[in-house]
Structure 1
Amino acid sequence: MIDNDGHRLAFHVTPGRLPAIVLDAGGGLDSSYWKDLVPRLAAATGSEIITYDRAGLGDSDEVPGPWDVKSAVDDLETGLRELGVTKDVILVSHSQAGEVATCFTRANPDTVSGAVLVDANLPEFFTDEEIARVVAATTPQVDAAKAGPSTKESRQLIATAESYVPVHRAYHQLSWPDGVPVTVIVSEQTPFAQSPEDAQRWRDAAAAFAKAGPGRTLVTADGSSHDVPVDRPDLVLHEIEKMAATRS
């Protein structure tokens, strides 16, 4: 447990060598999301493997107020610093954690030696039109969370919704640092399996991201839902292994 700015964060470490591989799960998910992949990844790479629970998830304390990517980055920075991991980090980030990865890497380009973004939120996707479409599609779920019992899950959903528009308008303006290689895995079904138009925009955003700078590779997870680490664990393991091998 690591203290930061009045709250505690749970980090889980499998010892090993550099590069250290940091696994960050998507929105509403905690470190247990990676439980099946961690031992396989440790055995395959010999790297130190780190998972953690973002604030309000798993064993980490909740933080009141709207979700703030800057605070999430600060939590990760503090945790890695306390663990003595300040260089040769490979970030593996799923879904919403792509936002944390992008902002963390921009702030710490000398710490991150590579990344694997797994069906991750990418800046290119979040145009004003797409933000409005996502808000409209998720409003019934958010309203139900507000009307129902207050649980950790409902509070996290509401916190994300409260800041969704300004956070993603700002995120749309960001770019990935050119000096940090990155593999982008995009799922075939995307998070928008029920909306062909939004699904195509998601795939187009991944392709545009991959073409926007050097050292970027696009991989499609054929047959996979948004939960690529669950549906295609061998593919995710392979791409992490490749990144770790090139950064060793």
Structure 2
Amino acid sequence: MIKQTPSRVRRAAVALALPLLTAGALVACSESAPAEPPAAGSPSAAPVAASSAPSAGAELHLVENNGHRLAFHVTPGRLPAIVLDAGGGEDSSYWAALVPRLAQDTGATIITYDRAGLGDSDEVPGPWDAKAAAADLAAGLDQLGVPDGVLLVSHSQAGEVATYTVREHPGLVAGAVLVDANLPQFFTDEQVARIVAVNGSQIEALKAQPSTKRTRQLLATAENFGPAHLAYHELTWPDSVPTTVIVSERTPFEDSPEDAQRWRDAAAAFVKAGPDRTLVTATGTSHDVPKDAPALVLAEIEKMTR
């Protein structure tokens, strides 16, 4: 066990919370709240004026699943589609700089979306549920008429959504690029206990901030974190879905070498656990790989499309 000073423990607490409460999300919580969803009654899957579309030329479509609306942004192109899913506390705008470059380089249909409780999507009461988020994604793609065989690109917390998606919806995903993503191998009993132990002060600080969609969504993720991630640890990735895992050099745990190594070990273990899996280290990057090294992420997506 690495001995840490109190100040280092506090920094590590933020890092340990990153799979749950990303540093960027905590900063963003102090900013003004995102615009609320468009008024009820919009036709399901119908294009509407896109006030927060991630790129020029993207259309905002509203779909419904289990009584709530979800916002999908579609940049038209050829199929199969490339679907981008942002990390915890982030909505589709996270990919704003990457979408036009990806559309130009691949010519593919590019889809981003806001998970429930973020961006232009409705909030859903209760603790955050990765399996339900996967059902939302699958339902949205189905209502948009997107054929199976998409390429799924998932950052951070979206790795959990990706795992449930490939397990619960066989054939929907033909390949995946997991970008410094939450992988089942990381969430051992010991690691979950460590995260839960240090998250208390972070959660209290979040509760003290103004209530916005984003803060409420992060608190919903915290509500059932322990049991949800112990269950997630037991899941496996299907051998039928080829996968590239991009791991950041500094990881989410820049001030905790022990946890950073566990993060890297989890990525390596995931890759070794099945066929057609590739591990790529994003040299010099923080957890925010898509923004620190967009060219690398683009290159790995393009490799997977081929």
TM range (shorter): over 0.9
For normalisation by structure 1, the TM-score amounts to: 0.97
The answer on 1:179 being equivalent to 2:240 is: yes
- What residue number does 1:49 align with? 110
Q: Which residue in the other structure is 2:165 paired with?
A: 104
User: For residues 234 and 150 of structure 1, what CA distance do their matches in structure 2 show?
Assistant: 36
The 2-side partners of 1:106 and 1:212 are apart by 16
Cα distance, 1:146 vs. partner? Answer: 2.2
Match of 1:190 in 2: 251
Partner of 2:21: none
| Separation in structure 1 between the aligned mates of residue 199 and residue 86 of structure 2, nearest angstrom | 20
- What is the aligned partner in structure 2 of residue 236 from structure 1? 297
**Among the aligned pairs, what percent are the same residue?**
72
Q: Find out whether 1:123 has 2:163 as its counterpart.
A: no
Is residue 2:213 matched to residue 1:152? Answer: yes
Q: Does 1:3 align with 2:95?
A: no
* Structure 1 letter corresponding to 2:232: Y
Q: CA separation in 2, counterparts of 1:2 and 1:60? A: 9
* Contact persistence 1:109–1:180 (CA under 8 A): no
Per-residue CA deviations over 1:98-121 (Å, capped at 9, x if unaligned) read 000011011122121100000000
1:72 alignment counterpart:
133
Q: CA deviation at 1:67?
A: 0.4
d(CA) in 2 for partners of 1:38, 1:62: 25
- Measured on the aligned residues, the alpha-carbon RMSD in Å equals 0.9
The question of whether the paired residues in 2 share the 8 Å contact of 1:90 and 1:112 is answered with: yes
- The residue aligned with 1:87 is 148
2: distance between equivalents of 1:80 and 1:94? 19
Provide the C-alpha distance between the structure 2 equivalents of 1:125 and 1:53, rounded to a whole number of angstroms. Answer: 25
1:209 alignment counterpart: 270
Query: Residue 87 of structure 2: SS of its match in structure 1?
Result: coil
Q: 2:125, 2:255 → 1: CA distance?
A: 32
Give the whole-Å Cα distance in 2 for the aligned partners of 1:113 and 1:153.
Answer: 31
Could you tell me how far apart the structure 1 residues matched to 2:170 and 2:139 are? 16
**What is the letter of the counterpart of residue 188 of structure 2?**
T
Q: 62-71 vs 120-129, which deviates more?
A: 62-71
The answer (yes or no) to whether the contact 2:80–2:147 under 8 Å persists in 1 is no
The separation in 1 between residues aligned to 2:218 and 2:245, in whole angstroms, is 26
Q: Which amino acid aligns with 2:272?
A: K
Q: Does 1:18 align with 2:79?
A: yes
8 Å Cα contact 1:109/1:179 also seen in 2: no
The TM-score normalised by the length of structure 2 is: 0.79
Q: Which has the larger radius of gyration?
A: 2
Q: Secondary structure at the match of 1:160?
A: helix
> Is the Cα contact below 8 Å between 2:71 and 2:114 reproduced in 1?
yes
Gaps of 5+ in 1: none
Alignment-mate amino acid for residue 286 of structure 2: S
Query: Residue type of the partner of 1:80?
Result: L
Q: How many Å separate the matches in 2 of 1:139 and 1:193?
A: 20
> Structure 2 CA distance, aligned partners of 1:11 and 1:215?
30
Deviation >3 Å, runs of 4+:
none
8 Å contact 2:179–2:247 — kept in the other structure? yes
Count of residue pairs the alignment pairs up: 245
